[in-house]
Amino acid sequence: MLIKKAEEIRGSEITPKWLYVNRRRFLTGALGVTAGALAGRTLKELAWPAQRVMAGSKLNVARKSPFSTNEEVTPYDDVTHYNNFYEFGVGKEEPAEKAKNFRTSPWSVKVSGLVEKPRTFSVEELMQLAPLEERIYRHRCVEAWSIVVPWTGYSLSVLLKEVAPQPKAKFVAFETYYNPGQMPVANYAGIPFPYVEGLRLDEAMHPLALLCFGMYGETLPNQDGAPVRMVVPWKYGFKSIKSLVKIKLVEKQPPATWNMANPSEYGFYSNVNPNVDHPRWSQAKERRLGEFFRRPTLMFNGYADQVASLYAGMDLRKYF
Ligand code: MTE
């Protein structure tokens, strides 16, 4: 397979984000309706787990999470039409269109490896493992933009405790569903599939690491990683792997897609760090999707109090 270099891919993204988003907001405003409002009105309440989890169904959030920020939430339309999901195209507008018919039901997630109780969960079973919480995170993406999204899910630690990691388990490896029949444009993405990611076990056990089923009070739209994804808010967006089908506990650091594709640009840790530049752009400032002016990026995306201790004594320039 011909693997394009990341520079070639990224270089083709020519519309600046603020311009794209503002144009989009203008168009949506002119129509007088947002996709979120439309989906909310036309879809029936989801009575899980009796009913299958379908993208865009209402989620009754059990409780607010203490991890919420008070920052203004990014409009639904921006978050659902400016995506990275290379299985459905490399253009930011492509996943919303090309993932429309992605079949996400029935769906199961296999949890295996160095655990006492390996098990395959249906997504409905997974949703019942813990009360769902709404967590409003400031989530940073790869190319210096950020979003603030009311995600719905629970700490991945709940699932990991359920399967009981063995003492030898040191890392968690994640894998996305891959089916070229459903993802014909994936061939042109220039990165290998299935998309894989990894976290150190202590990172994965951190209460901020979210196993995520929904956003904006509904189950995840396909382009945002339906029916279940990770959200790791103190790391760059590519660590937040979408449409999960496998979680495996392992002894050695597992492969991670962008790190494999371009190790000098994308490290395994990928903690948000304004002091370590990406080789081709500064990471010191970010543009919030929908805003014009850039704002300073915060260390660990503003979660330093919660997560800095995970990296005590590590040289974050080396382990970027
Ligand atoms: N997961 C899969 N399976 N495939 C992808 O291409 N892109 C990653 C991450 N998860 C990606 C993925 C990148 S680069 C980013 S920035 C975030 O998803 C984007 O998430 P969003 O589209 O919900 O904002």
pLDDT at 53: 73
List of residues 6+ apart from 93 with CB closer than 8 A: 81, 82
Q: Which atom of ligand 1 is nearest to the CA of 95?
A: 22
pLDDT at 56: 75
DSSP string, the chain: -----HHHHHHT--S-HHHHHHHHHHHHHHHT--HHHHHHHHSPBP-TTTS---TT-B----EE-TT---SPPPPHHHHTTS---GGG-SSTTHHHHHTTT----S-EEEEEESBSS-EEEEHHHHHTSS--EEEEEEEE-TTSEEEEEEEEEEEHHHHHHHH-B-TT--EEEEEE---TTT-GGGGGSSS-SS-EEEEEHHHHHSTTSEEEEEETTEEPPGGGTSS-EEE-TTB-GGGS--SEEEEEEESSPPP-HHHHH-TTTS-SS-B--TTS-BTTB--SEEEETT-SS-EEPPGGGGTHHHHGGGGTT--TTT--
pLDDT at 54: 74
Please tell me the residue having the least CA distance from ligand 1 atom 23.
Answer: 224
Q: Which atom of ligand 1 is nearest to the CA of 142?
A: 16
Tell me which of 21, 85, 140 to substitute to probe ligand 1's pocket, judged by most ligand atoms within 8 Å of the beta carbon.
85
pLDDT at 248: 99
C-alpha triplet 172, 92, 105: angle, nearest 5°? 55
pLDDT at 116: 98
Q: What is the mean pLDDT of each run of 10 residues along the chain (320 residues)?
A: 40 36 41 36 40 76 87 96 97 97 97 98 96 94 92 98 98 98 95 98 98 96 98 97 98 98 96 93 93 95 97 96
Beta bridge partners of 137: 149
pLDDT at 50: 44
Q: Which atom of ligand 1 is nearest to the CA of 189?
A: 6
Ligand 1 centroid – CA 256 distance (Å): 13
Ligand 1 centroid – CA 213 distance (Å): 15
pLDDT at 52: 67
Question: Distance between the two ends of the chain, CA-based, in angstroms?
Answer: 28
Q: Which atom of ligand 1 is nearest to the CA of 141?
A: 16
The one-letter code for the residue type at 104 is T
Ligand 1 centroid – CA 226 distance (Å): 12
CA 194 to each of CA 78, 87, 185, 197, 258: distance values in angstroms, whole numbers, following the listed order: 26, 9, 13, 10, 12
Ligand 1 centroid – CA 230 distance (Å): 10
Q: Enter the pTM of the model.
A: 0.86
Ligand 1 centroid – CA 122 distance (Å): 22
**Residues near ligand 1 with C-beta < 6 Å?**
83-87, 141-142, 176, 195, 224-225, 237-238, 240-243
Q: Which atom of ligand 1 is nearest to the CA of 143?
A: 16
Name all domains of the chain by residue range, CATH numbers in brackets.
8-136+150-258 (3.90.420.10)
